[in-house]
Structure formats: structure tokens, C-alpha cells
Amino acid sequence: MAAWGAIDDAAGLWALESFNEQGFSLRTTALRLRDGGVLLASPTRGLGDAAHAELAALGKPSVLFAPNHFHRLGLAEHLERYPEARATASDAAAPRVQKQTGFDVGSLAEVRERLPDGARIVEAAGSRSGEAWLFVSTARGTAWVVSDAFFNLPCVPGGAFGVGLRLTGTGPGLRIGRTYTTLAIADKRAYREWLAEMLDRSPPSMLIPGHGDIVEGPDLADRLCALARARLG
């Protein structure tokens, strides 16, 4: 049963990992906003009543953040449960999210003014999918909440689904998969340079991926930098 785990209570940051029918990891991350509401990054389908009851103790979801135009499938279920919540995405992702879901999609400008101190949303340069990440200051350093940019699957599911993950270099372990470099990046050079700037200006001590285990460590920025050089040229 999926359950929320605290990343940093003081920072108002929690995460929940669930798995689809193929055994593929899916993570929803929650951040308490300045006004007491909660932002859900990549809200996942089928969390269940128990997980939503736990979430109610953290705060009422008021922002449903689709971090790219692929991570939209949980919006309908969450908007049905939380009709006053606002679906949001980057300007680049919003048109497709709105077209595919039929929901009105707000801009990240609406969200930024509600973020708590120490949190910000950054939009990736060179992105085709409208990739946007959440940076949160915690007691253990800066946490990067990403979606598909980095995977960290401890193991790869079996069957055809798992074969596809292996063939695209998406797992196991900390990876930048070829599905991401092919489908989500429009300008590899612009994205590579932007990522290098983020790693230099806001080096993470924690990576909270949309798929796979959370990664921590003082050498995390160096590991991501090396991975980017290997995958992005």
C-alpha cells in the first residue's frame, strides 16, 4: 500500500512511491505552500483512500503540477477528488496537457508566488516536453524534484516493458534514458549547457526522481555532471 514518507518535515516536503501493473516506479512529491495548501508534483493515479487520508493531514492539495507534457495522467483523478485545485505546467507543456486532458492549465507564474521560502521552480532550456523541476532547500541541502530527466531504478521489471527499459538505457541504476534524450529534448546543446549551469549554481545533495529510488550524497552533483557528459555529449 502506498504511503507518504517525510523528506523534510520542516521544509514541508514529502514523497510517495507507487508501482504500476508492470512494477514500474511512480513517485508523487508533495510540498506545503506558503498559504498552507499543498502542491503535488506528478500526481499519480490510483493512490487509494488511505494515501489521500494521509495527505489530508499534510494539507489540502491546491496545485497539481505536471512537470512535463507526459506527466498528466493523474490530473483527472486528482481534480475529481480536489475540484478546487489548479492544474499547472510550464508554458511549453501547458498546450499539450490542456489538449490531452481538456482541463484549463494554469501557468507556473501563479505557483511561484505561493512557494515557500527556499523553494523554486525552474524550466529546462532546450526541452521539447516542457520539463520543469522543483528545487527545495532542506536541512540536508538542496533537493531536486525531477520527473523523467533522471531515473534511478534499483531493478528493471520483467517482460517486454523491462526489455524496453534496458534497450533504452533507462535502468537499472542512475541513468539518463534514451527515451528522454530522444523524446523530451529538442536542443541537446542548450539543455546540456543549462543543466551544467544548474549543477554549478544550485548543486543538489538529493535527487527525487519521478521513477526510482531517491539519491543522496555530497558527490551527487559530480555524479550527475559525469552522467550528463556521458549521455548528452
DSSP string, 53-107: HHHHHH--EEEEE-SSSSTTTTHHHHHHH-TT-EEE--TTTHHHHHHHH----B-
Instruction: Write out the chain's pLDDT in tens, 233 residues.
Output: 578 999 999 999 999 999 998 889 999 999 999 999 999 999 999 999 999 999 999 999 999 999 999 999 999 999 999 999 999 999 999 999 999 999 999 999 999 999 999 999 999 999 999 999 999 999 999 999 999 999 999 999 889 989 999 999 999 999 999 999 999 999 999 999 999 999 999 999 999 999 999 999 999 999 999 999 999 98
Residue corresponding to grid cell 511561484: 112
Question: For domain 4-232, which architecture applies?
Answer: 4-Layer Sandwich (3.60)
pTM greater than 0.85 (yes/no) = yes
